[in-house]
Amino acid sequence: MTVFGYMRVSTNETRQSFRSQKDALRKAGATKYFADTMSGLKSYKDRPELSALLDVVVAGDEVVIFALSRATRSLPDLLELVALLEAKGVGLRSISEGVVDTTTPHGKFMVSILGAVAELEAEWTRARVNAGVAAARARGHIGGRRPKLSAEQVALAQRLRAEGQTVIAIGGMLGVSRPTVYKALADAL
């Protein structure tokens, strides 16, 4: 029997999160590890390392995760993943939730409950973020990066281009790259 550890961090999380997950998985008995860096909202099917893990596990193995949210935040996805592991004779254990062990009826029940809670939490987070973005827009704040060129610089770039200056020369004068000049000129049209 091999105990596999699966880790996932969002793209905005740090390597420290990987280290802390790996330490916890090691303490739980994991000897081989798979790790993805991507959003928890993506299906388990779209995660290359989790897919690789599912290809190598065999009956009697166990997959240990730090928390159910590291595997997926979608209840249907979680239940499908649990069923897939169960069909292969592979157990799933979550360290954080403690009561999750799919080798027992109680554990299977808890996976369903905790998966629903994780999905609800993801929905609430998405709603809060969307509400925050809407409130910021209502106050006149626009998301995204600030333009690299001011309106005056764009007007200067247009004038210089009309006078026959090259885009590379204009970029050099304004201190920006050639693609930035092209984009500014295209956006100004």
Write out the residue range of the structural domain in which residue 158 sits: 151-188
Residue 140 within any structural domain of the chain: no
Region for residue 163 given its phi and psi (left: phi exceeds 0; alpha: psi -120 to 50; beta: otherwise): alpha
Q: Give catalytic residues, as residue numbers.
A: 10
In the predicted model, residues of the chain with pLDDT beneath 70 are: 12-16, 99-100
Q: What pTM, to 2 d.p., does this model score?
A: 0.57
Q: What's the burial of 59, exposed, middle or buried (CB within 10 Å: 0-12/13-18/19+)? A: exposed
At residue 123, the pLDDT reads 86
The answer to whether residue 58 sits within a structural domain is yes
Are both 156 and 89 inside the same structural domain? Answer: no
Q: Is residue 138 part of a domain?
A: no
Do 95 and 157 sit in the same domain of this protein?
Answer: no
Q: How far apart are CA 148 and CA 62, in angstroms?
A: 51
What pLDDT does residue 109 have?
A: 81
State whether the Cα torsion 22-2-99-88 is positive or negative: positive
Q: Is residue 139 part of a domain?
A: no
Rounded Cα distance between 138 and 166, Å, is 40
Let me know whether 35 and 117 are in one domain. yes
